[in-house]
Amino acid sequence: MSRIAFVKDARNPGSYVPRDRAGVSIEDRGFLFSDSIYEVCEVRDGGLVDEQRHLDRYVASLNALSLASPMPIRSLQLVLRETIRRNHVRNGVLYFQVTRGAARRDHAFPDPPVQATLTVFVTPVNTTVRDARAAAGVEVKTLPDDRWTRRDIKSTSLLPNVLAKQAAREAGAYEAWLVDKAGFITEGSSTNAWIVTDTGTIVTRPLSEDILPGISRSIVLDAAASLQIPVEERVFTVAEAKAAAEAFLSSSSAVLFPVVGIDGVAVGGGEAGPVTLRLRAFSRAISQVSGAQLPSI
Ligand code: PDD
Parent domain of 90: 4-125
Q: Is residue 21 part of a domain?
A: yes
3-class secondary structure per residue, 80-128: HHHHHHHHCCCCEEEEEEEECCECCCCCCCCCCCCCCEEEEEEEECCHH
pLDDT tens sequence across 144-191: 999 999 999 999 999 999 999 999 999 999 999 999 999 999 999 999
105 and 143 part of one domain: no
The per-residue pLDDT for 232 is: 98
pLDDT higher than 80, residue 291: no
| Final residue of a structural domain among 125, 144, 168 | 125
Listed residues 95, 125, 155: the one ending a domain: 125
The mean per-residue pLDDT over the stretch 215-239 comes to 98
Shared domain check, 68 and 10: yes
The stretch 276-297 carries a mean pLDDT of 79
CA 43 to chain centre: 13
Average pLDDT, the chain: 96
Would you say residue 295 lies in a domain? no
Q: Above 60 in pLDDT, residue 101?
A: yes
Q: What angle do CA 259, 261, 262 make, to 5 degrees?
A: 100
pLDDT of residue 294 exceeding 50 = no
Express each pLDDT in 123-144 by its tens digit: 999 999 999 999 999 999 999 9
pLDDT band at 255 (very low <50, low <70, confident <90, very high): confident
Mean pLDDT of 271-297: 83
DSSP SS3 for 201: coil
CATH number for position 67? 3.30.470.10
What confidence tens digit (pLDDT) does each residue in 236-248 have? 999 999 999 999 9
Residues 6+ away with beta carbon under 8 Å from 250 = 191, 192, 194, 214, 216, 217, 219, 220, 256, 283
In this structure, the answer to whether residues 78 and 185 fall within a common structural domain is no
Q: Is 141 a catalytic residue?
A: no
**pLDDT, tens only, 57-90:** 999 999 999 999 999 999 999 999 999 999 999 9
Give just the sign of the alpha carbon dihedral 225, 229, 230, 232: negative
Task: Please give the number of the atom of ligand 1 that sits closest to the Cα of 57.
Answer: 14
Residues 81 and 156 in one domain: no
What is the Å distance from ligand 1's center to 25 Cα?
Answer: 27
| CATH number of the domain enclosing 262 | 3.20.10.10
Last residue of a domain, one of 85, 101, 125: 125
- Do 276 and 138 belong to one domain? yes
- 195 and 119 together in one domain: no
Query: How many domains does the structure of the chain reveal?
Result: 2
Q: Is the peptide bond before 13 cis (omega within 30 degrees of 0)?
A: no
Task: Determine the pLDDT at residue 296.
Answer: 40
Query: Residue 215 phi/psi, 5° resolution?
Result: -70, -45
Tell me the β-bridge partners of 248: 194, 258
170 and 107, same structural domain?
A: no
Give the residue whose CA is nearest to atom 4 of ligand 1: 190
pLDDT at residue 49 is higher than 70 = yes
Q: Look at residue 50 and tell me if it is in a domain.
A: yes
What pTM was estimated for this model as a whole? 0.96
Task: Mark whether 244 and 158 lie in a shared domain.
Answer: yes
Which residue out of 36, 38, 40 has the highest number of ligand 1 atoms within 8 Å of its CB and is therefore the one to mutate?
40
From the list 8, 154, 181, 242, the catalytic residue is: 154
Nearest CA to ligand 1 atom 16: 191
Dihedral sign of CA atoms 205, 206, 210, 212 in order: positive
Confidence band (pLDDT; 50, 70, 90) for 293? very low
- Do 71 and 156 fall within a single domain? no
Ligand 1 site residues, Cβ closer than 6 angstroms = 40, 161, 187, 190-192, 212, 214-217, 250-253
Distance 61 CA to ligand 1 centre (A): 13
Q: What pLDDT was estimated at residue 1?
A: 58
Query: Percent of the chain scored above 90 by pLDDT?
Result: 96
Position in ligand 1 atom list of the atom nearest CA 54: 14
Beta carbons within 10 angstroms of residue 286's beta carbon:
12
